[in-house]
Amino acid sequence: MAEHSAHRPPDPTGIMTLATAYWGSQTLFAARRLGVFEALDQGPATAPALARRLATGERALALLLNACTALGLLVKAGDRYANAPAAAAFLVPDRPTYMGDALAYGEDVYGQWGELDRVVREGGVERAEGYLGDDPERTRHFVYGMHGRALGVGRALVELVDLGDCATLLDLGGGPGTYAALFLQRHAGLTATVVDLPPIAALAGDILDAMGVAGRVRLLPGDYHEVALPAGQDAVLISGVLHRESPARAQDLIARAVAALAPGGRLVVSDVMTAPGDDGPAFATLFGLNMLLTAPDGGVHSTADVTGWLTAAGLRVEPPRPFPPPMPHTVITATLP
Ligand SMILES: C[S@@+](CC[C@H](N)C(=O)[O-])C[C@H]1O[C@@H](n2cnc3c(N)ncnc32)[C@H](O)[C@@H]1O
Which listed CATH number (1.10.3470.10, 3.90.1300.10, 3.30.499.10, 1.10.10.10) goes with 2-91?
1.10.10.10
Atom nearest to 243 CA in ligand 1: 1
The domains of the chain are located at: 2-91, 112-335
Specify the pLDDT at position 146: 84
Q: Classify each residue of 161-179 as buried b or exposed e, where b means 16 or more C-beta atoms within 10 Å of its C-beta.
A: bebeebebbbbbbbbbbbb
Specify the pLDDT at position 131: 61
Q: How far is 298 from 31, CA to CA, in rounded Å?
A: 30
- Nearest Cα neighbor of 242 from 278, 270, 276 is 270
- For the entire predicted model, the pTM comes to 0.90
State how far the alpha carbon of 132 is from the alpha carbons of 106, 139, 142, 197, 204, in Å.
15, 5, 8, 8, 13
Question: Looking at the annotation, which residues are catalytic?
Answer: 243
3-state helix, strand, coil in the chain (%, to 5): 50, 20, 30
Q: Per-residue pLDDT tens for 213-248?
A: 999 999 999 999 999 999 999 999 999 999 999 999
Specify the pLDDT at position 106: 87
Specify the pLDDT at position 1: 46
Q: Per-residue pLDDT tens for 22-35?
A: 999 999 999 999 99
The structural architecture, per CATH, of the domain 112-335 is: 3-Layer(aba) Sandwich (3.40)
Ligand 1 pocket at CB < 6 A: 132, 146, 150, 173-175, 179, 195-197, 200, 223-225, 239-241, 244
Specify the pLDDT at position 30: 97
Find the 267 Cα to ligand 1 centroid distance in Å.
Answer: 16
Q: How far is 76 from 319, CA to CA, in rounded Å?
A: 47
The amino acid sitting at 253 is L
Residues of the chain with pLDDT under 70: 1-6, 129-133
Q: How far is 272 from 336, CA to CA, in rounded Å?
A: 23
Longest dimension (CA), the chain: 69
Find the 175 Cα to ligand 1 centroid distance in Å.
Answer: 5
